[in-house]
Amino acid sequence: MLDVVRSTETAPAAKAPGARRARPLSGLASLMRRLAGTRIGLVGLVIVGLLCLAALSAPWLPLHDPLDLMMEHRLEPPGASFLLGTDEMGRDIFARLVWGARGSLMIGVLTVAIGLSGGLLVGTLSGYYSGTLVESVLLGLMDIFAAIPLLVWAIAIVGIFGTGPVQLGPLLLPNEAKIVLLVGLLFIPGLARVAHGLALVEAKADYVAARRLQGAGAWSIMASDILPNILSPIFVQASVLIGIGIIIEASLSFIGLGVQPPTPSWGGMLADARSLAFSDEWWVATWPGLAIFLAVIGFNLVGDALRTVLDPRRRDGGPAL
């Protein structure tokens, strides 16, 4: 009798017939939930999410044409007709900000994608072949490029090739594509240095030696063992570089070497507002400057939150920032 009672008490409770089993979150969904669980991550995700939403939905939003010159509405202050006012040519500033976000975010993300791909390749190769000619050559090249600031490289190269389209074999590259390719290549040295240090540690680990004893090739070890273990810190660095890419694009556009008029760009809007910076028409320069500031802050906050949630020393028991 006692055995029956014990078995009844220890038996798991039966599930209701209509009960659903909770599905495990995917890796991306789990990461987003952990990011949103930190204060800085939540703020960063909100800022970046709103910017991305505005940029993606620009063609379907009820906006004025960002290229439409309405001289009768020249330098109107923010109001019901024009939410953020108009510039000295009568163009709607809000519409130009939204359409300019498309170019700024696209350039920022694509430049980091190029830099991330090249940096991981160079860093992993040089870390795995530590102490060989491969490491010396690759790191030497990275040091040469890293010796000159990014913006100086960008101004020099865009100045040499000009702001018009460039014929590259069968492809005709517009100026935006040149900026993406150029800044992406300039991001490689910094990311390669970070990846090299991480890969150097992993290449000396016992599990890599065990894989070599099993007959695994160098490329197999780098792709399936080393690379997955160094991605987290690299992604943190890459998220911050998106903001830097936006600043570089805005700087080039500000001096006339970036996105060319009449295409809206945040840097170009600041350049157009130079003569009005200290006038009563404060809104012309304020809104594009604020957009650049928020974009950079948003990606930096996401990067800081990524560092918090991906660092195993902070993940368990650490306070949510």
How many Å apart are CA 233 and CA 302, to the nearest integer? Answer: 13
Pull the structure tokens for residue 7.
């078995």
Amino acid 94: pLDDT: 95
Q: Which domains does the chain have, with CATH numbers?
A: 34-55+83-310 (1.10.3720.10)
**92 forms bridges with which residues in the sheet?**
86
Look at residues 130, 138, 151 and name the one whose alpha carbon lies nearest to residue 192.
138
How many Å apart are CA 287 and CA 270, to the nearest integer? Answer: 9
| pLDDT by 10s per residue, the chain, length 321 | 444 444 444 444 444 444 444 454 556 788 788 888 889 999 999 999 999 999 999 999 989 899 999 999 899 999 988 999 999 899 999 999 999 999 899 999 999 999 999 999 999 999 999 889 999 999 999 988 888 887 788 778 777 777 777 777 777 777 788 888 888 988 999 999 999 999 999 998 898 889 888 888 889 999 988 998 898 889 888 989 999 999 989 998 998 888 888 889 999 999 988 888 777 888 999 999 999 999 999 999 999 998 888 765 555 444 445
How many Å apart are CA 295 and CA 102, to the nearest integer? Answer: 12
Are the beta carbons of 195 and 119 closer than 8 angstroms?
A: yes
How many Å apart are CA 112 and CA 240, to the nearest integer? Answer: 9
Tokens 């070890």 appear where?
A: 221
Amino acid 199: pLDDT: 93
What is the DSSP track for 186-211? HHHHHHHHHHHHHHHHHHTSHHHHHH
Cis status, amide bond into 262, omega within 30 of 0: yes
How many Å apart are CA 132 and CA 29, to the nearest integer? Answer: 41
* C-alpha dihedral, 216 to 217 to 222 to 228, nearest 10°: -30
The set of residues, in sequence order, having a beta carbon less than 8 Å from that of 45 and lying 6+ positions away, is 32, 35, 36, 302, 305
Helix (H) or strand (E) holding 172: strand 171-173
Q: Is 98 exposed, middle or buried (0-12, 13-18, 19+ CB in 10 A)?
A: buried
* C-alpha dihedral, 180 to 184 to 187 to 189, nearest 10°: -150
Look at residues 170, 168, 198 and name the one whose alpha carbon lies nearest to residue 182.
168
Q: pTM of the predicted model, to two decimals?
A: 0.82
**85 forms bridges with which residues in the sheet?**
none
Helix (H) or strand (E) holding 158: helix 150-161
